[in-house]
Every structure is written in C-alpha cells, then in structure tokens.
Amino acid sequence: MISEPYLSIINAVIYLLIAPVVGGLIAGIDRKVTARMQGRIGPPILQPFYDVGKLFEKENVVVTTTQNFYVLSYFVFMAVAGALFFSGGDMLLVIFAFTLSHIFLVLGAYASFSPYSHIGAERELIQIIAYEPMIIFTAVGMYMVTHSFYVSAIVTSGIPIIIYLPGIFLGYLMVLTIKLRKSPFDLSTSHHAHQEIVKGVTTDFSGPNLAKIEVAHWYEYVFLLGVVYLFFGFNPLAAVAAIIVSYFLEVLIDNTFSRVKWQLTLKSAWLVAGTFGLVNLGVLYYLRAVVMP
C-alpha cells in the first residue's frame, strides 16, 4: 500500500505526463465533431499534435523578450494548478494558481505593441472577471457539502454532490463555455479559423511560444473536466458520462451560437453566477442552518 503523500505526488506526476496527451486528443475529437456538425470531413484526430509539432519547428519571433517569460509562466502555473488539483490539494490554492496563470497570459499579450493583442488582452481580462465568481462559488459549494476544500476529501466523500449543487453545476457549465473558448463567449481568441480581431490574445505569439500556449490549454482542458468529475465523484462511470455529455454540449453550443459582445458575456455570466450559484448556496445554507441543524 502506498502512503498518502507519495500517492498524491504520483497522481501529480501522472497528470503532468498524461494530461497533454489526453487534452490534445480531446481537442482533436472536438475539431472532428465540429467538422461533422458543419457537414465536413474534418482533420485527423491527431491534428492538434501535428499543429503543435509544426509550431515547434517554426522560428520564434518575439516582439519583447518579456513575452517568453510570461508565456512560460502561463504554461507552468497552468500545469501547477492541474497538478495540485489531481494530487488532491486545496481547491482555493488550485483556483489561485489557475487565475494567476491566466493573468500571465494577459500580461504577455499586453507586453507587445500590437493593438490587436491589447484588445485580446482586455477581452481575456473581461472573461476572467466574468467566470471568476462562479469558480469560487463552485469551491464554496463543494465545501458546504463535504466540509472540505481538499480535492482528495471531496472526491472520496461518497456524497452525490450533483444532487446538492445542481445550480452550481449549471453555472459551472457556463464557465466551461467561456474557458474552453467556445462561441458565444470566445471573445479574446477562438479556435475557429478567421475572426474579427486578428487572433486576439495570441496575435503576437508565434512558433514555440504559441505551441506552449496550446499545450497549456490542453492541461486546462483536463483540469476543467476534472472539476466536472468532482460533481459526480460518487460514481466514476456516471462522472465519465457527465464529462462526455457536457463536452458534447459545449461543442453543440459552439456551433449553434454566434459570438456575443463583451457586455452580454459579463452580464450573463454574472447573472447565471448570481442566480443559479448564489441561490443554490442560499438554499443549502438554509437547509443546514434552519431545517436540519
């Protein structure tokens, strides 16, 4: 039997090694499903790996050298956030590292001189502001149900969290749409070919730097879907099914909605967080404090 601290370290290492592979495959399946929804054949499943391989073969054009540092920090903190999560660490610390990594991406985009890059950075900030409350509510909700912020305690609690937190889960799906850069909320940059502000937050990154952003995004995929798992932690099969269904839903939404303005993104994200999230927490508090003290 492996003791607890070693097990968490092994989990973190497995995540660091496997997550880019899984994330890349998810991205490939995403592109394939998207193509099929649009009546196309679509690229091979391994296309995201070819893209990243290609980007590493390209020249690294850097506008200001600080960009390299910011991109590396984005990559490292994204990996750290996921590793903390999968090693069963503190949810609040995970969220802190997760947000910090995105701040580094914004700083990287601001470090260049391109106005397109700056617009992308601003929009990325707006997206962070839009989804952040809901992410915090998710952690708080899980604490209220399981009395722990630790992922290891949450996942082994055996409590069907989804039954206690349906509102929080709906709100989290909204966050997922923003975080996976899906329409209607792909303001700062999108996976689709052409868009209005050149390439938003990634405009001034090229070659290996862009590849790092892409791989960090794969880490992010796995981490975000890992949070979906927590809601259904009592039954691994149901959890995997929930992950597949929610991801398919995201792709469907991506292909059926057009991009909205940033005002609507911010308003709707906060509205959903404010209603579904807060009401869910309020009801939970009421039940705990008044009905079943």
Closest Cα to residue 227, out of 179, 278, 288?
A: 179
Beta carbon of residue 134, minimum distance to another protein (angstroms, whole number): 31
Binding mask 46-75 for another protein (x = CB under 8 A): -x--xx-xx-xxxxxx--------------
- What is 36-75 written as a DSSP string? HHTT-----TTHHHHHHHHHHHS----SSTHHHHHHHHHH
Beta carbon of residue 205, minimum distance to another protein (angstroms, whole number): 7
* Binding residue for another protein, selected from 17, 41, 237, 290, defined by CB under 8 A: 41
Binding mask 173-212 for another protein (x = CB under 8 A): --------------------xxx--xx--xxxxxx--x--
- Cβ(8)–Cβ(85) under 8 Å? no
Beta carbon of residue 212, minimum distance to another protein (angstroms, whole number): 14
Binding segment toward another protein, per CB under 8 A, in 8-16, 38-46, 143-151, 223-231: 38-46
In this complex, which beta carbon is closest to another protein, that of residue 59 or of residue 237? Answer: 59
- Cβ(168)–Cβ(124) under 8 Å? no
Residue 129: exposure state from Cβ atoms within 10 A (0-12, 13-18, ≥19): middle
Side chain identity, residue 258: S
Sign of the dihedral defined by the CA atoms of residues 255, 51, 47, 172, in that order: negative
Measured distance CA(228)–CA(223) in Å, rounded = 9
In this complex, which beta carbon is closest to another protein, that of residue 1 or of residue 41? Answer: 41
DSSP state, residue 187: -
Binding mask 134-173 for another protein (x = CB under 8 A): ----------------------------------------
> What CA–CA distances, in Å, run from 281 to 137, 189, 287?
8, 32, 10
* Binding residue for another protein, selected from 3, 38, 258, 263, defined by CB under 8 A: 38
In this complex, which beta carbon is closest to another protein, that of residue 3 or of residue 258? Answer: 258
Q: Which residues of the chain form contacts with another protein (CB under 8 A)? A: 31, 35, 38-44, 47, 50-51, 53-54, 56-61, 193-195, 198-199, 202-207, 210
